[in-house]
Amino acid sequence: MKKEATERALAGAAFELTLEHGLDGFTVEDIVHQVGCSRRTFANYFTCKEEAVARGATSVQNTTELEALLTEMPENVSLLDVLYDLIKMQLTTELLGRLHQLLSLSQTYPVLEPHYLGAMHRMQTQAQETLLDLSNGKHDEIYTYLLINAMYGTILPLIDGRLNVLLPGQVITEDTKPGAVTFDQFLETMFGHLRTGFEQANHPHSS
């Protein structure tokens, strides 16, 4: 627990310093000074400050809520419903906002881009592991991976703005592109496609 807290503190400090000063405006020494540990401790967790910055963007997940979801889940619940609850819990307003900030930073500082993609991949892998654990051999592994990868393949264009979706907490203003949908509408549409199947989604007028 203490190691996890130290890692989170270092990552959080790196992310906040980047937002405040830019990636070139601080050093690893500034990060460790702010947290109150040594450079050697930093090296136990991260290979470079860019890695810490990316981890800081994703270190806001609510593990308490997740544990409650997993322990209170009915036995006959579908994997798709589990994924829906998992995604709503994981993709909080704060996390989506931070990922959007991290993406913007990676466009300013290209050295951050692989770490942004790595952070997204890590979130995806955690969700895969959670679903596979819950599935416990009851569901086809290919189906489980298909669900997760379809879901996370849609999150990247959501965060980078290619999909015209309002992030949680955002409201329509005069600058909003016409046809924008809310985050809840986006989730309902995406899970609607997953529930009905790709072929039917591609031919909406077929009987």
Top pLDDT among 26 and 94 is at 26
Q: Which residue has the tokens 């995806």?
A: 124
User: What is the C-alpha to C-alpha distance for residues 128 and 148, in angstroms, rounded to an integer?
Assistant: 6
Q: Which residue has the tokens 């860019």?
A: 50
Q: Rank 15-29, 63-77, 140-154 by mean pLDDT and report only the highest.
A: 15-29
What is the band of 40 on the pLDDT scale with cuts at 50, 70, 90?
very high
User: What is the C-alpha to C-alpha distance for residues 111 and 155, in angstroms, rounded to an integer?
Assistant: 22
Asked if 151 and 166 touch (Cβ cutoff 8 Å), the reply is no
The mean per-residue pLDDT over the stretch 22-33 comes to: 96
The CA–CA distances, whole Å, from 170 to 74, 103, 174, 184 equal 33, 18, 13, 12
pLDDT tens, position by position, 64-122:
666 666 666 666 777 888 888 878 777 777 888 889 899 999 999 999 999 999 988 88
Tell me where in the chain the CATH 1.10.10 domain(s) lie.
1-59
- Residue 46: count of CB within 10 angstroms of its CB: 20
Least confident span in 54-58, 174-178, 200-204: 200-204
3-state SS, the chain, equals CHHHHHHHHHHHHHHHHHHHHCHHHCCHHHHHHHHCCCHHHHHHHCCCHHHHHHHHHCCCCCHHHHHHHHHCCCCCCCHHHHHHHHHHHHCCHHHHHHHHHHHHHHHHCHHHHHHHHHHHHHHHHHHHHHHHHHHCCCCCHHHHHHHHHHHHHHHHHHHCCCCCECCCCCCCCCCCCCCCECHHHHHHHHHHHHHHCHHHHHCCCCC
Fold exhibited by the domain 1-59: Arc Repressor Mutant, subunit A (1.10.10)
Least confident span in 30-34, 37-41, 125-129, 162-166: 125-129
User: What is the C-alpha to C-alpha distance for residues 99 and 122, in angstroms, rounded to an integer?
Assistant: 13
- Burial bucket for residue 76 (CB in 10 Å: 0-12, 13-18, 19+): exposed
Residue 125 predicted with pLDDT over 50: yes
Least confident span in 24-28, 62-66, 103-107, 124-128: 62-66
Residue 138 predicted with pLDDT over 80: no
Q: Which residue has the tokens 């592991």?
A: 129
pTM of this structure:
0.79
Asked if 170 and 158 touch (Cβ cutoff 8 Å), the reply is no
CA angle, 136 then 137 then 139, to 5°: 105
